[in-house]
Structure 1
Amino acid sequence: MKKLPPLIKIAVVDDHQLFRVGVVALLSDYNDMEVVLEASNGKDLLTQLKKTTPHLVLLDIEMPEMNGIETTLALKKEYPDIKIIILTMHNEEEFIFDLMNKGANGFLPKDKSVETVVDAIYSVMQKGYYYNDQITQAIIKGNSGHLKAPELFNKAASLTEREIEIIKLICEQKTNREIGELLFISARTVDNHKTNIFTKIGSKTTIGIVMFAMQAKLIS
């Protein structure tokens, strides 16, 4: 897994000030995390990002001026290295699938405990994504009609044996270095393979690879 930075810099984006204050207070108990930015909507966040760049954003969905979905798309375009965890009261599976497909790294209902939120932060920072049973079911059901069978077959058939090996190891949450050690190749070579995989399956994120692997039944 990827090594954590000494201090995880976090942005909290929500139009309810009391919620932001509560999150900041709860995370203050963790010495390896710091909320470096608070914003009331996506537009406010993008303005502040010109001065401060966090590692991760805890992002609400329903906000004025620029909502969480629009903000997710903007972040993935302008700041692709920033991780995103969605915090919301919505928990419909179609909604979760759509957000993960747009590039969110994790999803949590707002009523989850601070321990669960912290676990999700660590997971996203180390692995690139956070899954729980609810997210997994949403991805499986969402993927059931996402690609038509011929398109799915053609994409899967275009993958080499080595690329399929790498996809399976990515789904096991292995880093490029760990994959390289297991396959006796360099981390740079792994990265080149991942670039080819992204091109072949039409994805831009690690989550996209996992979603494709589920649908193509490359993993159980």
Structure 2
Amino acid sequence: MKNKISLLKPTSVRFLGMWLLPMLAACSQHPSSDASAATPAASAPAVSASVATSASAPVTTPADEADERDENGDSTAAASAPSQSDPATHGPHIKGIALGQTPEQVHAALTAMLPPGTPCTISPEATQLVCDGTAQPLQGTFRFEAGHLSEFKFYSALSSLTFGRMPSSDFVQAFMSAYGIPRMDPAQDNPMFSAYLRYRDDSGWEAGVYPDNTFYVRAIETAQARTQKFN
């Protein structure tokens, strides 16, 4: 019996080896399948990271694109837009004319204001405007102090030429609305002259309108300057 067992042992070993090898090979495939099954879970953070990256990317709006074009000099709208206020001037801007302007600026504004073929002449120093064929040829006066406009006046015919003919009440309402004048109070500086409507602004200007639509704008003391006289 002992000899039979020893003789069969090599054969049994070979048989067991041939039987075990396929089983071992089959078993060795399971870890790889487990790893492949875990792959989607491992790739999930990468997907989340890409979503987070796109979510954090800046959103460009048309306004942002316009700002970028302006910064790069691609837009000329801002450069071509005229300035709405000049720090050297004050009071209402009437047909391009405002207190504080130079004679050259006033002359240019008057030239642009007058219709083509009008019988009006502007003096070289821009102190007078004379219109032929009117009862009073002098229709515009402009006073300068230290090279800057301190008062200007449009007489009746020039007002009609510039703004059109209209009743005094309509002219006053349109004048106030166009130039942001909150009110106009009755005034009369000299009994020999007709009463008129006047507004005085604390920032240092006043405007007056007469019954024939003659009007003026002039520089005056500011409210602060008047108050300091009593300190």
TM-score bin (small chain):
under 0.3
TM-score, scaled to structure 1 = 0.25
Task: Name which one, 1 or 2, has greater alpha-carbon Rg.
Answer: 2
Give 1 or 2: higher helix fraction.
1
TM-score, scaled to structure 2 = 0.24
Which has the bigger relative contact order, CA under 8 A and spacing at least 6? 1
